[in-house]
Amino acid sequence: MRKVMHDSDSKKLLIKILTFVSVLAMAMSFACISTGCKPKLERYEENREKMGTYVNIIIYTDKEDKSQEFLNEGFTKIDELSKIASNYDPDSSVTKLNKDGYIENAPDELIEIIQLSKDYNKITSGAFDITINPILTLWSEGLWKESMEIQQQKVSDTLKVVGSDKILIEGNNIKFTQEGMSVTLGGIAKGYIVDKVIEDLKSKGVNNVLVNAGGDMATLGSKPDGKLWNVSLENPDDTTEKIAEFAFKDKAIATSGNYYRYFDPEKKTSHIIDPRTGFTADKCISATIIADNATIADILATSVFVLGPEEGMALVNTLDNVEALIIDSDRNITKSEGIDKFMVK
């Protein structure tokens, strides 16, 4: 015989079910509060060839459906800023400035980059100078083939148009005050663009990011499990080995070295030229900077390389939140006082 449930019994069962569900919901809610219940962040990354190097963007997000959109937007930002700051784009804003000697209604980003460059030209006592471009052109066109006497003469003549104080910024207009001037943004643009990609992703709610543009690297936050981002420094004499490893979050790192690019096949004329002399900077083989952003790290890596271990470290010690590891031409390593806290033992 089938048992018939009366209305009173149905009500009692419903109350029991509702009570159980309520208790279960409260228990789950308490568990989330006590353990910090959050959506799981998954890792997404992509490599693309940009800015004459390979750019790697790593993000962590719980929005799987938007992950590719976030990555695409990061690379789009690189393309947008390259149209402003790339010396290799014939239609870029900086190319127009170099061609005409002036640019009206310049993009805000170009003004910011050039103003920062002028500021750090003073901070580094001339070791960082974007107006070095005419000297770089001399060497790239084969000056290294000439006698020392001819090199000295041509460099001396060309240095007359070098000097960041010869760049004038008036409102949204930029102009050179001497004919024959031109600028290269190779010592700042990559770092600046990396920072802008980080800013853009942060504005979209992505808070765990690493952007690496050929060694100019910036991080936002840590990995979701709280682990730091790890970065290795190659041995200049054997790039298959690492000479140091760093770990940090919310920091940037950049390295300048003379072990990749040279103007001459004998590798005697490095692409890093001292703007004060017009000749190769030869006191270091590597200078690594850790700073709050990639723009500053990029600028200072070049500057410290040019200055050498003594002057370079003296500069670093005057700056807040900047650390350095320098390898001089005799393979001696000099470290700033605070860099150990970022080094993996």
The mean pLDDT of 46-56, rounded to a whole number, is 96
Residue 261 burial by Cβ neighbours in a 10 Å radius (0-12, 13-18, 19+): exposed
Does 246 reside within a domain? Answer: yes
C-alpha angle with apex 255: 253 to 256, nearest 5 degrees?
150
The model's pTM is 0.87
Amino acid 10: pLDDT: 53
What CA–CA distance (Å, rounded) separates 156 from 166? 17
The mean pLDDT of 101-125, rounded to a whole number, is 98
Whether pLDDT at 307 is above 90: yes
The mean pLDDT of 319-330, rounded to a whole number, is 96
Hunting for tokens 């007359």 — which residue is that?
Answer: 160
Does 243 reside within a domain? Answer: yes
Residues 6+ apart with CB under 8 A from 297: 191, 216, 218, 252, 253, 254, 289, 290, 291
Amino acid 17: pLDDT: 45
Q: What is the percent of the chain where pLDDT is above 90?
A: 76
Nearest residue to 84 (alpha-carbon basis) of 210, 216, 212, 192: 192
Whether pLDDT at 15 is above 70: no
Return the minimum-mean-pLDDT range out of 95-109, 163-177, 270-284: 270-284
Does 236 reside within a domain? Answer: yes
**What CATH number has the domain bearing residue 338?**
3.10.520.10
Pairing outcome for strands 229-235 and 167-170: unpaired
Confidence at 156, pLDDT banded by 50, 70, 90: very high
Does 307 reside within a domain? Answer: yes
Q: What is the pLDDT of residues 18-41, one digit of tens each?
A: 444 444 445 444 444 444 556 789
Pairing outcome for strands 238-248 and 53-61: unpaired
Whether pLDDT at 118 is above 90: yes
Does 157 reside within a domain? Answer: no
Pairing outcome for strands 216-220 and 209-213: antiparallel
Would you say 257 and 138 are in contact if contact means Cβ atoms under 8 Å apart?
A: no
Rg, the chain, Cα only: 27
Does 97 reside within a domain? Answer: no
Cα-to-chain-centroid distance, residue 278: 26
User: Hey, is 285 helix, strand or coil?
Assistant: strand
Strand segments, DSSP code E, in the chain are 42-50, 53-61, 102-103, 167-170, 173-176, 209-213, 216-220, 229-235, 238-248, 252-257, 284-291, 323-328, 333-335
Would you say 339 and 290 are in contact if contact means Cβ atoms under 8 Å apart?
A: yes
Nearest residue to 252 (alpha-carbon basis) of 208, 296, 207, 316: 296
Q: What is the pLDDT of residues 246-298, one digit of tens each?
A: 999 999 999 998 665 655 455 555 578 999 999 989 999 999 999 999 999 99
Whether pLDDT at 11 is above 70: no
Tell me the backbone φ, ψ of residue 80, rounded to 5 degrees.
-60, -45
Amino acid 77: pLDDT: 98
Number of domains the chain contains? 1
Where in the sequence is the domain holding 255, given as residue range(s)? 228-345
Whether pLDDT at 146 is above 60: yes
What CA–CA distance (Å, rounded) separates 269 from 262? 6
Confidence at 130, pLDDT banded by 50, 70, 90: very high
Hunting for tokens 């002399």 — which residue is that?
Answer: 277
What CA–CA distance (Å, rounded) separates 303 from 234? 20
Tell me the backbone φ, ψ of residue 121, rounded to 5 degrees.
-60, -40
Torsion sign over Cα 195, 201, 204, 209:
negative
Residue 105 burial by Cβ neighbours in a 10 Å radius (0-12, 13-18, 19+): exposed
- Within 36-107, residue ranges assigned H as helices are 64-85, 93-100
Amino acid 224: pLDDT: 94
Does 247 reside within a domain? Answer: yes
The residues pairing with 6 across neighbouring beta strands, listed in sequence order, are none
Does 288 reside within a domain? Answer: yes
The residues pairing with 326 across neighbouring beta strands, listed in sequence order, are 287, 334
